[in-house]
């Protein structure tokens, strides 16, 4: 039987932070991005929390959360013994909060009552997923912790919080949403409900993301992209992902390519690969792309796939995103030396089994080779 879970209560809108006023007499551990303390964003969030709560902050969050860094947060968890945690920031901050929760509850035998996620980027969907991606910096690998109880209880989607994001963050995180949507659409555990969410994500991102990049203060566009990010998170949390993510995790681990950018570099190649090896994937891509209006209903699925691949590349140009490792600043010779490691670790990644096609090592090498130069 298929299991579909949407356990997170989601509040959206520029008054969504009002929900925090319901917290009374709690020990709260906030985990937030390093740049947030003493900013209007964190002041706004703290201002919504009643003064009778005991609030502590862990802000030493690093991109691609390293295990050493997370253990510092676990130490603070042990001192505070919170009954509520609030993760605030991009995917790294919310993932760090989840990992601190996971390890803190185990180490100190102290379960928390509630985890609240407040995303300040429209990208990872971490506010509605059961996954925390942790980096093992010594071995250059990323390890997902996947536990249903890590899914946040509450997600607060305030579009005002994303309006000050740097343009590159808007671009990379938004392209991650498109990747979540296109991968979950054809993933092995996809179903009618996840398809609906994924199709909406594709539609919103292809029409609204560049507008958010160019006019960051467009609150209406920001709100719909923020909600699409959440929808795509629900889709992939239930349906799974695929080889775009399993390879992208290797670009992050080995070359420190920001996650959303790594996904975007690979995405057109993976979509083209899946479409050429699976009739079902080809048809699902085609149907979804036709619904966006990017191609007319009378066009073939094959042309629809060519159009979405071209659209991804066009969006990357419009948002000043490098499309290869060379353009990102990585020596192609160094990237080529890592080929076997990238392929081997991609196959071990937790997202790999969801792909609609099981690629050979040569298939993975060919896709990776396309993003080197």
- Residue 30's region, left for phi above 0, alpha for psi from -120 to 50, else beta, is beta
- pLDDT score of 142: 78
* Residue 308 C-alpha from the chain's centroid: 20
Residue 122: both structure tokens together: 């429209």
- pLDDT score of 138: 82
pLDDT (tens, 9 = 90+) of the chain, 373 residues, equals 888 889 999 999 999 999 999 999 999 999 999 999 999 999 999 999 999 999 999 999 998 899 989 999 999 999 999 999 999 999 999 999 999 999 999 999 999 999 999 999 999 999 999 999 888 888 878 777 889 999 999 999 999 999 989 999 999 999 999 999 999 999 999 999 999 999 999 999 999 999 999 999 999 999 999 999 999 999 999 999 999 999 999 999 999 999 999 999 999 999 999 999 999 999 999 999 999 999 999 999 999 999 999 999 999 999 999 999 999 999 999 999 999 999 999 999 989 999 999 999 999 999 999 999 9
Predicted TM-score of the model (pTM): 0.95
C-alpha separations of 187 from 101, 191, 196, 241, 356 in Å? 29, 9, 13, 6, 5
Query: Measured between alpha carbons, how far is 84 from 117 in angstroms, rounded to an integer?
Result: 11
Say if residue 15 is exposed, middle or buried (CB neighbours under 10 Å; 0-12, 13-18, 19+): exposed
Query: Measured between alpha carbons, how far is 77 from 38 in angstroms, rounded to an integer?
Result: 22
- pLDDT score of 140: 79
Place of tokens 């609204």: 208
- pLDDT score of 215: 97
Contacts (Cβ under 8 Å, ≥6 apart) of 173: 90, 91, 121, 122, 123, 124, 165, 229, 260
Q: How many CA atoms lie within 13 A of 21 on its CB side?
A: 7
- pLDDT score of 189: 97
Integer-rounded Cα Rg, in Å, for the chain is: 20
C-alpha separations of 371 from 114, 326, 346 in Å? 41, 8, 15
Sign, CA torsion 79/80/83/87: negative
List residues bridging with 88 in a β-sheet: 32, 118
Query: Measured between alpha carbons, how far is 147 from 331 in angstroms, rounded to an integer?
Result: 37
H helix and E strand count, the chain: 14, 8
DSSP state, 69?
H
- pLDDT score of 78: 97
What is the 3-class SS of 24-44, one letter each residue?
CCCEEEEEEECCCCCCHHHHH
Residue 362: both structure tokens together: 């040569």
- pLDDT score of 372: 98
Say if residue 244 is exposed, middle or buried (CB neighbours under 10 Å; 0-12, 13-18, 19+): buried
């Amino acid at each position: 039987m298929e299991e579909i879970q949407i356990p997170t209560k989601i509040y959206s809108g520029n008054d969504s932070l009002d929900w925090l006023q319901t917290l009374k007499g709690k020990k709260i551990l906030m985990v937030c991005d390093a740049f947030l303390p003493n900013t209007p964003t964190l002041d706004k969030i703290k201002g919504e929390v009643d003064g009778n709560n005991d609030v502590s902050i862990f802000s030493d969050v690093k991109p691609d959360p390293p295990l050493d860094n997370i253990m510092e947060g676990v130490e603070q968890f042990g001192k505070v013994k919170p009954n509520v945690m609030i993760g605030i920031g991009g995917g790294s901050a919310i993932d760090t909060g989840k990992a601190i929760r996971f390890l803190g509850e185990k180490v100190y035998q102290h379960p928390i009552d509630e985890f609240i996620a407040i995303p300040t980027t429209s990208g990872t969907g971490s506010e509605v997923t059961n996954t925390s991606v942790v980096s093992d910096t010594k071995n250059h690998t990323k390890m997902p912790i996947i536990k249903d109880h890590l899914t946040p209880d509450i997600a607060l989607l305030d579009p005002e919080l994303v309006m000050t994001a740097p343009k590159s963050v808007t671009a990379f995180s938004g392209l991650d949403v498109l990747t979540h949507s296109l991968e979950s659409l054809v993933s092995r555990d996809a179903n009618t409900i996840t398809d609906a969410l994924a199709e909406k994500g594709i539609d919103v991102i292809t029409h609204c993301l560049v507008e958010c990049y160019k006019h960051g203060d467009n609150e209406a566009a920001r709100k719909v992209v923020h909600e699409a990010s959440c929808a795509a998170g629900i889709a992939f949390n239930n349906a799974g992902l695929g080889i775009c993510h399993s390879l992208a995790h290797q670009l992050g681990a080995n070359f420190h390519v920001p996650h959303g950018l790594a996904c975007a570099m690979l995405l057109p190649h993976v979509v083209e690969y899946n479409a050429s090896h699976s009739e079902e994937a080809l048809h699902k891509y085609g149907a979804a792309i036709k619904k966006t209006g990017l191609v007319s209903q009378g066009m073939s699925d094959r042309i629809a796939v060519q159009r979405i691949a071209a659209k991804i590349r066009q969006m990357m140009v419009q948002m000043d995103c490098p499309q290869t490792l060379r353009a990102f600043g990585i020596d192609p010779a160094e990237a080529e030396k890592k080929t076997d490691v990238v392929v081997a670790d991609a196959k071990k990644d937790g997202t790999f089994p969801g792909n609609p096609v099981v690629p050979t090592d040569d298939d993975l090498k060919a896709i990776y080779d396309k993003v080197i130069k």
